[in-house]
Structure 1
Amino acid sequence: MYIKKISLKNFRNYEFLETEFSPNINVFIGKNAQGKTNLLESFFVLALARSHRTSDDKDLIKWGQDFARINARIEKNTNSEKLELIISKAGKKAKANNLEQKKLSNYVGNLNIVLFAPEDLNLIKGNPTQRRRFLDMEIGQISRSYLSNFSQFKKILRQRNNYLKQLQKKVTKDKIYLDVLTDQIAAFGTEIIVERKKFLKKLEIYMQSMHTKLTEDKESLKILYKTNSFDASLDDKEKIYNDLKNNYHKNYDKEIRAGTTMLGPQRDDIAFLINKRDVSDFGSQGQQRTVILSMKLAEVELIKDVIGDYPVLLLDDVLSELDENRQTQLLKAIEDNIQTFITTTSIDGVNKEIVKNPQIYNVDGGRIIKSREENN
C-alpha cells in the first residue's frame, strides 16, 4: 500500500497542505522545527487515530484554530481508499470512503504504518510503559479484536480502581461487586495477553531472521514476556484466565491497601535476549540498536504476512543515528518494496548508492516544495 495524496488543514504548523507522493522513496529535507516530523506524525495519526508524540489531541491542532483535518488517498493491492480524520475539542471523527466510523477500532487498520524514530532506540532501555505502548499500537493495527478488548479492559480497569479506592477508604465494605469486576478484568485481560503472546511469537521469528543477517549469524535472539500476573509459560487461554483470576483473588487485601489494580497486562513487560542475556542489562549500545533495527524490519514483514500488503515506512531523522552497516541493511530491505518517507536535514544523509531516484521535498515553515526526483 502507499499514500498517493494527502491534504492537511490546521495540523500542527500546517495551515494548509495538499501534495502527492511517490510510491517508492520520498525524502523531506529541511532545518529543524520546520515541519518534517509534523508531516510524518500526520501519517501516523491518520493510520492509528493517535499520535506517537503526545497524548493530548489538542497539541495536534494549529494554535488558535478549532480543529485539524487530515485527508488522504490510499492505494492498495486490491483497491483505493479515501481516509479522513477530524480532530477537535469534541473528540475525533473518522471516515473511510466517506462513511463515518462510529468506533475508532473499526477505522484503525485501513492504513498500516511502521515508524522508526530516534526515540525508538531507547525502547530497550526505556521503561515498561514504552514497550507496552509499542505492543498495543502494533497489534492494534492488524487486529480490531485487540483494540476492542483493550478498550473494554481500560474501561473496567478504571471502574475497578475506583472501587478499590472506595474499599481502601472504607466508603464501602462490599466485595461482591469487586468479584464481578475481577471476573470481567480477568476475561478481557486474558484476551489481551493471548494476542500479545501470539504477536510476539510471530515477531520473534521475523526478528531472528533479520538479526541473523545483521550479525552474520553471531548472535541468537529471543523475546521474553515478563509478568507477575500469571504463569508466563502458559499459552492456553483458559489456563491463563484461571491463573490470572486466582492471583487477583489472592491479592485482594494488597490491592485494597494500595487502592489500585496491581496485576494484569497493564503491568506486564517484554525483554529481548541476546545469547540468553537481557540486552537491556548486558548489551552494548550497538547490540541494542541492532535489536531495534531487527524489530522494525520484522514489523514490516509481519504486517505484510498478516494483511497481504506492505505497510508504509516512516524514517524520522533516524538514518544519522545508524552506522553505515546498519543504514545499508535498512535501506536494502526497503528497496523497491515499500513506500518510505525519510526526514533529514541534508540529502547527504541518504545513501545514494542504495536509494534510487528518491522524490525530494524541501520543507520550510509548514510549506513543502516538491523539487525533483534525485537521479543517481
Structure 2
Amino acid sequence: MLLQKIELTNYRNYKKASAEFSPGINVFIGENAQGKTNLMESIYVLAMARSHRTANDRELISWSEDFAKVTGRVEKRSSTFPLEIVVSKKGKKAKLNHLEQKKLSAYIGHLNIILFAPEDLSIVKGSPSVRRKFLDMEMGQMSAVYLHHLVQYQKILKQRNHYLKQLAQNKGRGDLLYLDVLTEQLAAEGAQVLKDRFRFTKRLQEWARPIHAEISRNQEELEIVYSCSIPVESKEDVEQLYQDMMDQYAKNRPRELEQGTTVSGPHRDDLRFYVNKKNAQTYGSQGQQRTTALSVKLAEIDLMKEMTGEYPVLLLDDVLSELDDERQTHLLKAIQDKVQTFLTTTSLDGVKRNLIDHPRVFRITSGEIEMESE
C-alpha cells in the first residue's frame, strides 16, 4: 500500500500545497513550527478521518477560512483510487473514489497507517484509556466488522448510561424492562468486541515477542495480556462471552443503579505488558518501556500485512530523536525496503543515514513544501 500524492487546501498553516511521495522513505525536514507535523497529521486525517492531535476538527481549518480539504491518491496491489476529507464548520465529509461515504466506518481502512510519535510511548506507561484507544484505532483499520460492532457498542453504552443516570436520580424507580433490552443489546455487541480484542492481542504478542527479544539481545521476554473487566470462561466463543457479560451485568445491577453508570465491559478493559513476568508499566525501566512500545509498533506492521494482505504506511513523527542508537537501528532496519515511511525531523544529523536508502527529502518552511533534489 502506498500514498502516491497529497494535496492540502486551507489545512492549518497550508493555504495550498501538494507533494508526490516516494514508495520508500520520505523525510519532512524543517525548523519547529513550520508545518512538518501538520503535514504528517494531514496523512493521518486522510486515513482515519480524524486527527490524532485534537478532537476539535475546526482546528484543522486555516485561520479565517471556512473549510479545510485533504485529498490523496492511494495505490494498492489491485487498484489505485483517490481519497478526500473536507472539514467545515458544518461538519465533515469523506469521499472514496469520488463517492461520498454516509458512514465514516465505510471510509476508514482504505489507507492503513501506523503512527509512531513520542506520545506513543504512553501505550505502555499511560492510562488504560490510551491503550483502549490504541486497540480500537489499529483494529478498526484492519476490520470493518470490528469497527461496526465497536460503534454499535459505544452507541448503546451511551444510551444505557443515560438511562442508568435517570434511574439513579429516581432512586431506581423506572422501566427496568427497557434497561434489560439495552443490557442484552450491549452484551451482544460487547461479546463481538471482546472476541476480536482477545484474538488481536494474541496475534500481536506472537509478532512482538521475537522483536522484543532481538532488541533486548534475548535478555527479556515480552508478554501482552488483554485484561478484561468481566470474568470470562472463553476467549473465542461469542455465545459464552455474551452469557458471561449478562451474568456480570446481573451481578452489578444494584451498584449500577446506585452509581448511574455501566461499571464493566470493553470500555473498562486494559492491555497489559509484562517484561520478564513483571508489569512494564509499574516496574519497567524507561528503556524497557521504550523497547516494548517499539516492539509493539514494529509488530503491527507485519500483523496488519497478515490481516489485510497489504503493508501499511508508517508515520514516524519526530520519534527518532527519542530513541537511542540501538533502537533507532532496529527501527530503520525493520522498515527498509518494506513499508512506505514518512519521517519528520529538524535535522538529518541525528539520523543514521547509512540505514536510509535514497530518501526523498521535503523541506518545510512556513507552510510551503519544497522537494530537495534526489
TM-score interval w.r.t. the shorter chain? Answer: over 0.9
Q: What is the distance in 2 between the residues matched to 1:352 and 1:200?
A: 34
Deviations 1:293-338 (A, max 9, x none): 1011001111111222211111000001000000000000111111
Alignment-derived partner of residue 117 in structure 2: 117
Alignment-derived partner of residue 91 in structure 2: 91
Matched, 1:21 2:26: no
Q: What is the distance in 2 between the residues matched to 1:355 and 1:149?
A: 40
Matched, 1:306 2:307: yes
Matched, 1:214 2:209: no
Uncovered stretches (5+) of structure 2, i.e. residues with no partner = none
Alignment-derived partner of residue 361 in structure 1: 362
Alignment-derived partner of residue 6 in structure 2: 6
Displacement of 1:42: 0.7
- Given that 1:67 and 1:86 are in contact with CA atoms closer than 8 Å, whether structure 2 keeps it comes out as yes
Q: Secondary structure at the match of 1:219?
A: coil
Alignment-derived partner of residue 260 in structure 1: 261
Q: Secondary structure at the match of 1:353?
A: helix
Q: What is the distance in 1 between the residues matched to 2:248 and 2:235?
A: 14
Displacement of 1:135: 0.3
Q: What is the distance in 2 between the residues matched to 1:140 and 1:307?
A: 12
- Given that 1:66 and 1:88 are in contact with CA atoms closer than 8 Å, whether structure 2 keeps it comes out as yes
Q: What is the distance in 2 between the residues matched to 1:150 and 1:119?
A: 24
Q: What is the distance in 2 between the residues matched to 1:206 and 1:306?
A: 12
Matched, 1:370 2:360: no
Q: What is the distance in 1 between the residues matched to 2:233 and 2:43?
A: 36
Identify which range, 215-224 or 179-188, moves more after superposition. 215-224
RMSD value, Cα = 1.2
Displacement of 1:230: 2.9
Give 1:135's aligned amino acid: L
Give 2:341's aligned amino acid: T
- Given that 1:230 and 1:240 are in contact with CA atoms closer than 8 Å, whether structure 2 keeps it comes out as no
Deviations 1:266-309 (A, max 9, x none): 11001001111111111111111000110110011111112222
Q: What is the distance in 1 between the residues matched to 2:234 and 2:243?
A: 14
Alignment-derived partner of residue 30 in structure 1: 30
Displacement of 1:233: 5.9
Alignment-derived partner of residue 347 in structure 2: 346
Q: 1:232 to 1:90 in 2, by over 3 A?
A: farther
Pairing 1:1-376 to 2, within 5 Å after superposition: 1-170=1-170, 172-231=173-232, 234-373=235-374
Q: What is the distance in 1 between the residues matched to 2:296 and 2:235?
A: 24
Q: Secondary structure at the match of 1:263?
A: coil
Identity %: 53
Q: Secondary structure at the match of 1:230?
A: coil
- Given that 2:195 and 2:235 are in contact with CA atoms closer than 8 Å, whether structure 1 keeps it comes out as no
Give 2:345's aligned amino acid: T
Identify which range, 63-72 or 319-328, moves more after superposition. 63-72
Q: Secondary structure at the match of 2:4?
A: strand
- Given that 1:3 and 1:75 are in contact with CA atoms closer than 8 Å, whether structure 2 keeps it comes out as yes
Q: 1:116 to 1:232 in 2, by over 3 A?
A: farther
Deviations 1:71-114 (A, max 9, x none): 10111122111111111222221111112211111111110101
Q: 1:275 to 1:232 in 2, by over 3 A?
A: farther
Q: What is the distance in 2 between the residues matched to 1:323 and 1:51?
A: 28
Give 2:43's aligned amino acid: F
Q: What is the distance in 2 between the residues matched to 1:314 and 1:106?
A: 23
Q: Secondary structure at the match of 1:372?
A: coil
Q: 1:123 to 1:232 in 2, by over 3 A?
A: farther
Identify which range, 31-40 or 235-244, moves more after superposition. 235-244
Give 1:338's aligned amino acid: V
Identify which range, 212-221 or 225-234, moves more after superposition. 225-234
Q: What is the distance in 1 between the residues matched to 2:131 and 2:355?
A: 31
Q: 1:138 to 1:88 in 2, by over 3 A?
A: same
Query: Could you tell me the TM-score, scaled by structure 2's length?
Result: 0.97
Give 2:126's aligned amino acid: G
Q: What is the distance in 2 between the residues matched to 1:228 and 1:284?
A: 27
Displacement of 1:232: 7.1
Q: Secondary structure at the match of 2:77?
A: coil
Uncovered stretches (5+) of structure 1, i.e. residues with no partner = none
Q: What is the distance in 1 between the residues matched to 2:140 and 2:229?
A: 24
How many corresponding residue pairs? Answer: 373
